[in-house]
Amino acid sequence: MEPREIEELLPFYALDALTDEERELVETYLREHPEARQQLDEMGKAVSALPYGAAPVEPAARTKEALMARVAVDPRSRALKQEQAPRPREMRWINIFQAFGLGAATVAILWAVVLNIQLSQMKNQVALLNEALVAQSNALQEINARLAQTPVAETVTISLKGTDIQPQAQGQLIADPNKNSAVLVIDGLDQLEPGKTYQVWLIDGGEPISAGLLSLDSNGQAVLIVTSELTIGEFNALGISVEPEGGSQQPTGDIVVLSDL
């Protein structure tokens, strides 16, 4: 391709609308002609503004709730909490020894001092933890006392289990039977081959009604806000089946989860 022809591709490169082959041609050209990069940067600035050309739309609250519920059960969220715990201090003492190059006798004396300090710190930490434990215990007692005075909540949690096809699958449906929506949390589902998806069904004795498609994360977990025109309490069962991508009108594939509501 002539250089002039490749330069004609630059606007579409900036717009990210080239075929893979064309994109490679442009990238090779840019490596060999760095002066074209400036031209591309100018176009890129215009392209970066394009998303603001669409009218902003306030998302439904449930979208954020579902996202944050998904994040909350992600192992990375939990990892941060563990990371924030106090770190061991042994390395700092080792550095002190190296820095001052003390003799063996001095090291022994210092070590004894260090051990005493650490012991003292540990005692303080244990005391603090005990205080926190007592505070939490008191808070728990207060919550229990309030719960005892509060009318029984309408929300129920229903356990969901995998069928013989995926017996390891399990989950929960958290729902108020008098409401039209519920939260489905499912775990342990197998990853599907491309072109397949999991579809959730609510069953009231007649034909199953689709309640949405599941997007599994890499751990086989998924969270879905289930909504229906009928209240959740009007349904007898919930099922999850394997369907072609985009879902089906009625279940056509393997039923991997089926539980009475």
Partner 1 sequence: MSRSKNANGVSVRIKDESSLLSSKDKTGPEQLSDEILVARITRGDSSALEALYDRHASTVLGVLLKVIGDRALAEDVLQETFWRVWKSASTYESERGPFTGWLFRIARNLAIDAHRRTNVRPQILVTENDVDALADRAPDPDTDVPEQAQVDFRNQQVRAALASLPRVQRQVIELAYFYGMTRQEISKATGEALGTIHTRARLGLQKLREELDREEFEG
* Residue 208 beta carbon to partner 1: minimum distance, rounded to whole angstroms: 19
Burial of 196 (0-12, 13-18, 19+ CB in 10 A): middle
147 by Cβ neighbours in 10 Å (0-12 / 13-18 / 19+) ranks as: exposed
> Residues interacting with partner 1, by CB under 8 A?
8-12, 14-19, 42-60, 63-64, 66-68, 70-72, 74, 76-80, 83-84, 213, 215, 217-218, 245-246
- Pick the closer one to partner 1 by CB: 189 or 261: 189
DSSP per-residue string spanning 42-103: HHHHHHHHGGGGSPP-PPPHHHHHHHHHHHHTSHHHHHHHHHTSPPP-HHHHHHHHHHHT--
Smallest distance from partner 1 to CB 34, Å: 16
Query: Quick one: 10 or 261, whose CB is closer to partner 1?
Result: 10
Nearest residue (CB) to partner 1, 75 versus 167: 75
- Provide, rounded to whole angstroms, the least separation between the CB of residue 3 and partner 1: 14
Task: Considering the complex, state which of residue 43 and residue 102 has its C-beta at the smaller distance from partner 1.
Answer: 43
Q: Which is nearer to partner 1, 2 or 83 (CB)?
A: 83
Shortest distance, CB of residue 59 to partner 1, whole angstroms?
Answer: 5
Answer left, alpha or beta for residue 88, where phi above 0 means left and psi between -120 and 50 means alpha: beta
* Closest to 245 (Cα-Cα) out of 209, 206, 214: 214
Query: What is d(CA 70, CA 80) in angstroms, rounded to the nearest whole number?
Result: 16
- Shortest spacing between CB 54 and partner 1, in angstroms: 4
